[in-house]
Amino acid sequence: MFARIVTFPLQPKCAAKLTAAVEKNVVPLLRTHKGFVDQIMLVTSDGSTGYGISFWDNKENAEAYNRTGYLDVIKALDPLLAGAPQLQLCHVTNSTVHKLVHAKVA
């Protein structure tokens, strides 16, 4: 399994708007992409930063989404952002939520 972790600097007092935008715009878009498994959104307690973690069946599908769907997500969230999002790609090595087939991590 593979994860995309996106860090979003947020405008002040936008946590509730972010939650609504993710439910209305982001999750439906993610569900249309091959290999999408799950999505989690986190917001810091002061509301200044959001973390979007999407899970994918493999690296290739995560990268394909990055080329074909990610810009639509950024456009949907742009009014709530206080700066440019930062993206990290990661192998998922452990999870108590997802049943993983252990793969060698390069």
Q: How confident is the model at residue 99 (pLDDT cuts 50, 70, 90)?
A: low
Query: pTM for this one?
Result: 0.86
Flag whether 42 is in a domain: yes
Flag whether 96 is in a domain: no
Cα pseudo-dihedral 30, 1, 16, 12, rounded to 10: -110
Flag whether 22 is in a domain: yes
Flag whether 83 is in a domain: yes
Domain extent at residue 68: 2-91
Flag whether 51 is in a domain: yes
Flag whether 59 is in a domain: yes
Q: Tokens representing 101?
A: 């087939």
Predicted local confidence at residue 94, as pLDDT: 84
Tell me how many domains the chain contains.
Answer: 1
At 79, which CATH number?
3.30.70.100
pLDDT tens string 19-78: 999 999 999 999 999 999 999 999 999 999 999 999 999 999 999 999 998 999 999 999
